[in-house]
Amino acid sequence: MITTFPNTEGELLRRVVDPQRAGWSAEAAQSILALSFSPADLNRATELAEKAGTGEMTADEQREMEGYRHVGRFLELVKSRARLSLKSLNAA
């Protein structure tokens, strides 16, 4: 029997990163945990979120906001795996 999985961008990234699996070195995990948006990007994402709340976003701004969401989800996935990797290393 062949099992099929949804092949959305988010699901593909989740399967690639596999945040339920440890296995990264402490150095790699710590480097990943240090990744974040710049202050300018955080400000821009906040501006876009405020515009979204008022319903005043242009189509270009909606696409830009989706970019922030995609990158944010990716960061969540890799940071989850990094934390699990560190926890596994500390337990050993």
Whole-number Å distance between alpha carbons of 30 and 89: 12
Instruction: Find, among 12, 13, 26, 19, the residue nearest to 90 by Cα.
Output: 26
The pTM of the full predicted model, rounded to 2 decimals, is 0.80
- The pLDDT tens digits of the residues spanning 48-76 come to 999 999 988 999 999 999 999 999 999 99
- The pLDDT tens digits of the residues spanning 19-52 come to 888 899 999 999 999 999 999 999 999 999 999 9
Matching residue, tokens 């995609």: 70
Whole-number Å distance between alpha carbons of 49 and 58: 12
